[in-house]
A and B are shown apart, each in its own frame.
Chain A
Amino acid sequence: MKKSLTALWLAFLFSLPLWMNNQYVLHVLVVTGIFIVAAISLNLLLGYAGQLSLGHVAFFGIGAYASALTSLGFSVHLTPETVLAIAPKPVWCGMLAAVIASGACGWFLGRLSFKVRGAYFVIVSISFAEVVRLIALNWVELTQGPMALNNIPPLTLWLPGLGEHVFWKKPANYWLVLCIAVVSYVIVRRLVRSRAGRAMVALRENEPLASSVGIDVTRYLVLAAVVSAAMAGAAGALYAHYIRIVDPDVFLFIYTVTMVIMVITGGKGTLAGPVVGGLIFGLMPETLRAFAIPPELQWIVYGVLMVLVVFFLPRGIVPAVQQWWQRRQGSAVPAKAAS
């Protein structure tokens, strides 16, 4: 039952570009999908390991820059004499570089904050994002600073049956993002249903008790940070090669906030939470525009809805729906509870 529902849902998502020709809607879906991947990655750290990373956009941005720079090539003076020059590489190399670079930064941040929890972790993560933004803004030789990296090539992949395929068009990008989102979802699902995920949850729920049964909490915090950062880096790479321009504004705090809203309203610490929250809060501004609501009002509606969700469903939409479903099932079959 559950399996066939998942299959139906996936079939709907994958077939969407075949029967829907509205390019604008596809564009919105692609961007929302990219943010959902980022939200899924944040959920691992925030929802499961219980550490609020308010600098999560740093990993997204690092991924975007790493991928863009690798595929464009660059040369920088490390000292006045020595020049590090990288020739342009294929885009898939760039995406790989994005995952590795972001993962390494996640490892660094995880190690750095190994004794820092709660509010201190939040501060460390915000500072990290801000430092990275300033580097992107001021290291003009590498990043072009505020002039931005332009003309980033789209992904080129050899696909069976298609040969060399360049991801220019929206449907191709839609499928690419959808695939990455499914992979991210599966990765998180595998993690949280394993020993590693239980260790992360144990860290969130009761750290002293966790270490009393032999869980090396630091190790699993670092693991969560690495996987989460690498995934956010992949999202950043997707963004760079889809939008094809990256400037230091990708590091803006508002993007982190968007991810946090998606995770919290959807339901942190649930697998479907960031997907549901991401779909609602990613698509809503555009949906409101379709009803010809003026922009000022759009954001007011957005804010009010967010407050309502947090106020009435403090654990998020997904846990609330699950609870409602269970209660309904419970009242329909009271004999089940007794047995």
Chain B
Amino acid sequence: MTAALLAVSKLAVRFGGLAAIEDLSFEVNAGEVLALIGPNGAGKTSAFNAITGYLAPSGGEIVFAGARLNGLKPHRIAELGLVRTFQKTSVFGGRSALDNVLIGLHLRSTQQPLAILLGLPSVAREEKKLVAEAREILSFVGLGTRADELGNALAYGEQRLLEIAVALAARPKLLLLDEPVSGMNAVETESFMARLTRIRMLGITVLLVEHDMKMVMGVSDRIVCLSQGRVIASGTPVEIQRDPGVIRAYLGEKYARGKGAPVRA
């Protein structure tokens, strides 16, 4: 493996006296799928928010591809190639699926306000190209036939796919997925896992927060387990499943003593 794509060291996030994250360090290597797991309140989403600039970290350092992210605005971080999705389904509900992806293509287009106001032909040419690209991305996530539906009108699982399409449109190097399959049924989860494999093949590194253990164990190369704002274990899925610390955090002392019991979601 080459140098880490994302390096988080000694990250701390505090809300007043409450420490959501005490001391979090981990690295994401280029090309891998890393999952961040942990019981509710472990600080997974806070870590996401701090990395992507939605929360100001109280301490520590976040370095992405050689650039320090601390203090950067979310849109600047997205420009660097770090794009996230949200835990709560988040699409542009009043716009069509195609428009959603077109908005996601913001960074890929170059029209300047003056050219737009003057109605230069270069703008129209680029718009055509963008629409074609947006349709391609929609088909990639399997929403090719739903391009004209409003975001709100899509089924829940489809909205989650649309979120991924919007994020992919921003051309991420590292994609952060916050509970992408929560609320999906088993079949939808299965097909989502297949899609994630195809996303990897595009050369996109993935950092994942997820509660669905079957999914996590199936797609991740490595897993980092958090509990109460600290890393309690990290390793391959098999190592994590056998880690007594992880079992204790999820199931309590009693199960941890019965060594080797597999974690079940």
A interface with B by C-beta (< 8 Å): 186-187, 190-191, 193-196, 198-199, 201-202, 205-206, 208-217, 223, 227
Q: Which of A206, A210, A213, A217 has the most chain B CB atoms inside 10 A of its CB? A: A213
B21 within 8 A of A: no
Q: Are A223 and B113 within 8 A (Cβ)?
A: yes
Q: Are A209 and B117 within 8 A (Cβ)?
A: no
> Within the assembled complex, what's the spacing in Å between the Cα atoms of A209 and B127?
22
Q: Are A212 and B79 within 8 A (Cβ)?
A: no
- Chain B residues 72 to 128 lying within 8 A of chain A, measured CB to CB, are 73-75, 78-79, 83-86, 90-95, 99, 102-104, 106-107, 109, 111, 113, 116-117, 119, 123, 127
> Within the assembled complex, what's the spacing in Å between the Cα atoms of A214 and B169?
11
Contacts of A198 in B (CB 8 A): 99, 102-103, 106
Q: A190-B116, A199-B103 are in contact. Are A212 and B74 (CB under 8 A)?
A: yes
Contacts of A194 in B (CB 8 A): 111, 116, 123, 127
> Within the assembled complex, what's the spacing in Å between the Cα atoms of A196 and B109?
10
Q: Mark B113-150, 1 if CB is under 8 A from A, else 0.
A: 10011010001000100000000000000000000000
> Within the assembled complex, what's the spacing in Å between the Cα atoms of A214 and B76?
6
Instruction: Give the B interface residue count (CB, 8 A).
Output: 35
Q: A205-B93, A213-B167, A215-B106 are in contact. Are A191 and B73 (CB under 8 A)?
A: no
Q: A213-B103, A215-B103 are in contact. Are A191 and B92 (CB under 8 A)?
A: no
Distance of A115 from chain B, by nearest CB (Å):
12
Which one, A186, A201, A223, contacts B103 given CB within 8 A? A201
B interface with A by C-beta (< 8 Å): 52, 54, 73-75, 78-79, 83-86, 90-95, 99, 102-104, 106-107, 109, 111, 113, 116-117, 119, 123, 127, 166-167, 169-170
Contacts of B94 in A (CB 8 A): 205
Contacts of A202 in B (CB 8 A): 92, 103, 106
Which one, B79, B92, B107, contacts A209 given CB within 8 A? B92
> Within the assembled complex, what's the spacing in Å between the Cα atoms of A234 and B167?
40
Contacts of B95 in A (CB 8 A): 201, 205
Contacts of A208 in B (CB 8 A): 54, 74, 86, 90
Known: A190-B116, A206-B93. 17 other contacts (CB 8 A): A187-B117, A191-B116, A193-B127, A194-B111, A196-B113, A198-B106, A201-B95, A202-B92, A202-B106, A206-B90, A208-B74, A208-B86, A209-B90, A211-B74, A212-B52, A213-B170, A214-B75
Contacts of B167 in A (CB 8 A): 212-213
Distance of A288 from chain B, by nearest CB (Å):
35
Contacts of B54 in A (CB 8 A): 208
Distance of A189 from chain B, by nearest CB (Å):
9
Q: Are B75 and A215 within 8 A (Cβ)?
A: yes
Contacts of B116 in A (CB 8 A): 190-191, 194-196
Distance of B73 from chain A, by nearest CB (Å):
7
> Within the assembled complex, what's the spacing in Å between the Cα atoms of A199 and B107?
11
Q: Are B127 and A214 within 8 A (Cβ)?
A: no
Contacts of B93 in A (CB 8 A): 205-206
Which one, B73, B106, B113, B123, contacts A213 given CB within 8 A? B106
Contacts of B78 in A (CB 8 A): 211-214
Q: Are B73 and A209 within 8 A (Cβ)?
A: no
Q: Are B92 and A213 within 8 A (Cβ)?
A: no
Across chains A and B, which 6 residue pairs bring their CB atoms closest together, nearest first? A214-B78, A211-B74, A205-B92, A214-B107, A213-B170, A194-B116
> Within the assembled complex, what's the spacing in Å between the Cα atoms of A211 and B103?
11
7 A–B contacts from the bound complex (CB under 8 Å): A186-B119, A191-B117, A193-B127, A212-B83, A214-B75, A214-B83, A223-B113
Distance of A216 from chain B, by nearest CB (Å):
5
Q: A194-B116, A214-B78, A217-B75 are in contact. Are A209 and B86 (CB under 8 A)?
A: yes
Contacts of A223 in B (CB 8 A): 113
Q: A193-B127, A198-B102 are in contact. Are A213 and B117 (CB under 8 A)?
A: no
Q: Are A212 and B86 within 8 A (Cβ)?
A: yes
Contacts of B169 in A (CB 8 A): 213
> Within the assembled complex, what's the spacing in Å between the Cα atoms of A187 and B116?
9
> Within the assembled complex, what's the spacing in Å between the Cα atoms of A205 and B84?
17
> Within the assembled complex, what's the spacing in Å between the Cα atoms of A190 and B127?
12
Q: Are A206 and B123 within 8 A (Cβ)?
A: no
